[in-house]
A = this chain, B = another copy of it.
Amino acid sequence: MAINSVNVLFTHALADTALSAKQKEVLKASLVLFSEQGFDRTSTSDIAKKAGVSEGTVYKQFKTKEGILAAILKPFAQSVIPTAASEFVTMISSTSYPSLEEFLRHVVQNRMQFAKENKLQLKIFAQELLHNTELVQALEAEIKPKLIKQMGQVLEYYQKQGQLVAWPAVRIFRYVISVVFSYLVPYLLLELPLDVEEASQEAVEFLLGGLSPATK
């Protein structure tokens, strides 16, 4: 009964086939419908209708309805996970170690921008996370070590410099992520506008206050 969402993300990968125009329509229609109504409340007939193709065509490329979900979430998940971590490393090593403020601003702004560009995927992903404990655990197992390992040294650098409070990496991530989400949630759920520049400015202002060792 429950959807096997771990498979959805990690095995049913959409063969990197070049999709035909109709297949792309199917994907676009599904993206909109899943994000608006949820996966379960969207029928394959709804998708076919919105995509302007027959039901048979929906099944040509994506063997099952879950296959469509996979085709949507797979590239999304792959962008969230490794990028988030490796990007920082690249940044750190390629630049001359900017200040914590510059670092946070870059990270926060970058993730907000990503969320804005993947709004619908993010909503679908969140829905999936909520009914699927397994998927959450698989994701955690995937992301956490990478993040900790790769970011650990960056945080340590700022901690040694006295710019960052000496909390464990997990605790620091927790706050950064949650503050980023505090700006995304109204944007995602209430369809309010999001000015990434301004929002990340504000977020960093608050984060710096909370994460700076000076005040402790």
Which residues in A have some Cβ–Cβ distance to B below 8 Å? 1-3, 36-38, 40-43, 46, 123, 126-127, 129-131, 133, 136-137, 140, 165, 171, 174-175, 177-179, 181-183, 185, 189-191, 202, 206-207, 209-212, 214-216
Q: How far is the CA of A52 from the CA of B53 in the complex (A)?
A: 28
- Majority secondary structure of chain A interface residues (helix, strand, loop or mixed): helix
A43 to B, closest residue via Cβ? B1
How far in angstroms is the closest Cβ of chain B from A45?
A: 11
Q: How far is the CA of A182 from the CA of B2 in the complex (A)?
A: 26
Known A-B contacts A174-B182, A214-B215; A41 and B2 likewise in contact (beta carbons under 8 Å): yes
Q: How far is the CA of A158 from the CA of B178 in the complex (A)?
A: 24
Q: How far is the CA of A134 from the CA of B181 in the complex (A)?
A: 21
Tell me if A131 and B136 are in contact (CB < 8 A): no
Query: What residues of B have a CB within 8 angstroms of the CB of A46 in the complex?
Result: 1
Query: What residues of B have a CB within 8 angstroms of the CB of A3 in the complex?
Result: 41
A124 to B, closest residue via Cβ? B130
Known A-B contacts A127-B131, A175-B206; A136 and B189 likewise in contact (beta carbons under 8 Å): yes
Q: How far is the CA of A207 from the CA of B175 in the complex (A)?
A: 10
Known A-B contacts A178-B179, A216-B209; A202 and B171 likewise in contact (beta carbons under 8 Å): yes
Query: What residues of B have a CB within 8 angstroms of the CB of A41 in the complex?
Result: 1-3, 40, 131
Query: What residues of B have a CB within 8 angstroms of the CB of A202 in the complex?
Result: 171
Contact of A209 among B37, B137, B183, B211 (CB under 8 A): B211
Tell me if A38 and B136 are in contact (CB < 8 A): no
Known A-B contacts A130-B123, A175-B206, A209-B215; A2 and B37 likewise in contact (beta carbons under 8 Å): yes
Q: How far is the CA of A207 from the CA of B191 in the complex (A)?
A: 27
Query: What residues of B have a CB within 8 angstroms of the CB of A43 in the complex?
Result: 1
Tell me if A210 and B214 are in contact (CB < 8 A): no
A173 to B, closest residue via Cβ? B182
Query: What residues of B have a CB within 8 angstroms of the CB of A206 in the complex?
Result: 175, 210-211
Q: How far is the CA of A215 from the CA of B208 in the complex (A)?
A: 9
How far in angstroms is the closest Cβ of chain B from A59?
A: 12
A140 to B, closest residue via Cβ? B190
